[in-house]
Amino acid sequence: MHRQTVMNTAPASIIGYAFGGMLYPAGGYYGPLETAYATLIVLHEGAAEVEIDGERYRLTSGQAGFFFSLRSFGIHYLHGTASQVSWCEMPLPGGKRPLALTGLPHVAVASVSERAESLMRIGIDLGFGEATLTNHLRIALGEALYAVVALDAGFGEEVALSAPVLKARSHAERCYAGPCDLSELAAAAGVTPEYLVTAFRRQLGTTPMRFVWELRTRKAIDLVQRSHLGLAEIAEQCGYKSPYHLSRAIKELSGHSPRALRKARGFLQSTLESGLTEDVQF
């Protein structure tokens, strides 16, 4: 099947992003759209060749990709092969991208992640309703989906970080509550401690262990504000040896004592006897 008709505009009912999905049991062709267009495709099975402004890009089963075209856009689905596809797309009047998409590359292709599939499912479930709140949600989902695929493809701030720094940072974010010393971080990154310190300073403007201690303190601040735990228990959960040292770190990072943070906007435990009470005092 090859569709010869030129499609110049998107349906008038589309406001912002449009989500959809289709099974093409024997392949086929979608397009051409002779207009500026943003298209994000998740190819669940099959194979496809995306054609934008005279250039061609191949998608295989299990890949997601987004494409910004200025003049023309079309998709070839492999002839004789079933292709299951979902999409998030929108016209770009005057070739201008929405502000939220201006920092993204022209084309990005990545393996489909669970978070990308989840966002796509939610967008499709919204249907074609044009109520204001529905469309606000659709726009938010579309922007998030494009950003997720860009990150999955290796773009964004992560592209400036080396593999050892990314590995060490990921390990710290998982294991900060335990010992998590410099040697452990370096081993997780596959480099020497000296190399890792230099790389962190150059790429993140801090040292590996300062990064770990800030992680611990930020988590502790979150527990101060969102739980009823005492400071000793919070210190134990966040890798601090004593509540005294934790209290000092919280004050240094936030400008407030743990007591002040909880009093100002903390969690108040409910009891049958007295309703909402500050049941833990620091």
pLDDT, tens only, 97-145? 888 888 788 999 999 999 999 999 999 999 887 788 888 999 999 999 9
Mean pLDDT of 177-201: 94
Asked if pLDDT for residue 5 goes beyond 50, the answer is no
Domain over 18-152 is classified CATH 3.20.20.70 = no
Mean pLDDT of 160-172: 87
**Rounded Cα distance, 260 and 279, in Å:** 15
pLDDT score at 9: 35
Q: How many residues would you count in the chain?
A: 282
Mean pLDDT of 74-98: 90
Contact 68, 107 (CB under 8 A): yes
Q: Which residue has the higher pLDDT, 237 or 3?
A: 237
One-letter amino acid of 44: H
What are 25-58's pLDDT values in tens digits?
A: 998 888 888 989 999 999 999 999 999 998 999 9
**Rounded Cα distance, 1 and 75, in Å:** 12
What kind and span of H or E run contains 183?
helix 182-189
What kind and span of H or E run contains 77?
strand 73-77
Beta strands in 124-230 (DSSP E): none
Contact 23, 42 (CB under 8 A): no
Could you give the percent of the chain with pLDDT greater than 90? 57
pLDDT score at 277: 41
pLDDT score at 131: 85
| CATH 1.10.10.60 domain extents, the chain | 161-271
Asked if pLDDT for residue 212 goes beyond 60, the answer is yes
pLDDT score at 108: 92
**Rounded Cα distance, 88 and 145, in Å:** 8
Give residues with Cβ within 8 angstroms of 168, minimum separation 6.
185, 186, 188, 189, 196, 200, 208
pLDDT score at 8: 34
Task: Read off the pTM.
Answer: 0.58
Torsion from C-alpha of 247, 251, 257, 258, nearest 10 degrees = -50
**Rounded Cα distance, 267 and 277, in Å:** 9
| CATH 2.60.120.280 domain extents, the chain | 18-152
Question: Which option is the CATH number for 161-271: 2.40.50.100, 3.40.1030.10, 3.30.565.10, 1.10.10.60?
Answer: 1.10.10.60
**Rounded Cα distance, 231 and 261, in Å:** 12
Q: How many CB atoms lie within 10 A of CB 136?
A: 11
- Phi/psi for 51 (5° steps) reads -115, 115
- Phi/psi for 162 (5° steps) reads -75, 160
- Phi/psi for 32 (5° steps) reads -80, 145
pLDDT score at 97: 85
pLDDT score at 22: 93
Q: Which residue has the tokens 């080396």?
A: 162
**Rounded Cα distance, 19 and 88, in Å:** 4
pLDDT score at 266: 59
Q: How many CB atoms lie within 10 A of CB 272?
A: 5
Tokens encoding 132: 């204001």
Could you give the percent of the chain with pLDDT greater than 70? 87
Tokens encoding 215: 């992680």
Mean pLDDT of 77-106: 88
Burial of 65 (0-12, 13-18, 19+ CB in 10 A): buried
pLDDT score at 267: 59
